């Protein structure tokens, strides 16, 4: 795949079960191996308080940049495959704890809505554990609707979000 067909994408990573830091590092290694793709910048790992039900452990979150020639649905399939390889079981409980969650946040400037996929990710603009890691690796980013990441971060409190280390060490 030639470079001009590649899209700049951002993937949100989250885990709060079964050694979350190791889960995220393993997932980042798997992203680096995806076909027709190259891994770009990866944010720090962040500890974050659970959004949704509070009777679950804190999360570890990060965001990774990926340049890819995969289509959005091919990329979604690949992300779900990584989740499954790392023991993700989809439970009936909404917003419950998880070993690994990989969300396609942005796919170039695309705005997509189909049964399996909404891009930009529906929670992006409200989630501090997505916005601040995104700002760390793409400070000048604008969403397809023109809002800047800097502006969104000003509107969303950190809720205790804390960088806890590098994804590479
Ligand atoms: N809360 C935090 N802090 N981080 C997540 O990645 C996360 N993922 C989820 C829900 C349950 C909404 N809460 C989260 O899916």
Structure-block tokens of residue 82: 């990584």
Measured at the alpha carbon of residue 159, what is the angle toward residues 154 and 163, in degrees to the nearest 5? 90
Structure-block tokens of residue 114: 């189909």
Q: Which atom of ligand 1 is nearest to the CA of 123?
A: 12
Q: Which atom of ligand 1 is nearest to the CA of 49?
A: 3
CATH code at 3-165 = 3.30.70.560
The domain limits of the chain are 3-165
Gap from CA of 10 to ligand 1 centroid (Å) = 17
Q: Which of 98, 116, 158, 159 is catalytic?
A: 98
**Ligand 1, atom 2: closest residue by C-alpha:** 50
pLDDT at res. 76: 98
**Ligand 1, atom 8: closest residue by C-alpha:** 14
The residues, ordered by sequence, that sit 6+ positions from 145 with a Cβ below 8 Å of its Cβ are 111
pTM of the predicted protein model: 0.95
Q: Burial letters for 99-132: b for 16+ Cβ neighbours within 10 Å, e otherwise?
A: bbbbbbbbbeeeeeeeeeeebbbeebbebbbbbb
pLDDT at res. 90: 65
Tens of pLDDT, residues 126-142: 999 999 999 999 999 99
Tens of pLDDT, residues 39-94: 999 999 999 999 999 999 999 999 999 999 999 999 999 999 999 998 876 666 77
CA atoms within 13 A on the CB side of 123: 11
Tens of pLDDT, residues 6-42: 999 999 999 998 899 999 999 999 999 999 999 999 9
Gap from CA of 1 to ligand 1 centroid (Å) = 34
**Ligand 1, atom 10: closest residue by C-alpha:** 95
- Looking at residues 137-165, what average pLDDT do you find? 97
Q: Which of 103, 116, 127, 147 is catalytic?
A: 103
**Ligand 1, atom 5: closest residue by C-alpha:** 14
Q: State whether residue 34 is helix, strand or coil.
A: coil
């Amino acid at each position: 795949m030639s470079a001009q067909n590649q899209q700049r994408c951002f993937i949100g990573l989250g885990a709060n079960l079964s050694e979350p830091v190791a889960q995220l590092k393993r997932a980042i290694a798997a992203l680096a191996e995806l076909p027709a793709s190259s891994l770009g910048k990866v944010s720090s790992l962040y500890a974050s308080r659970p959004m949704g039900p509070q009777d679950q452990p804190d999360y570890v979150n990060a965001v990774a940049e990926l340049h890819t020639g995969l289509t959005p649905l091919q990329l979604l399939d690949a992300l779900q495959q990584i989740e499954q390889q790392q023991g993700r079981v989809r439970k009936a409980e909404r917003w419950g704890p998880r070993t690994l969650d990989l969300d396609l946040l942005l796919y170039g400037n695309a705005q997509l809505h189909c049964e399996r996929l909404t891009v930009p990710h529906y929670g992006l603009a409200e989630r501090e554990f997505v916005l601040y890691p995104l700002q760390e690796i793409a400070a000048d980013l604008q969403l397809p609707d023109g809002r800047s990441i800097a502006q969104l971060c000003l509107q969303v409190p950190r809720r205790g979000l804390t960088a806890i280390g590098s994804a590479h060490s």
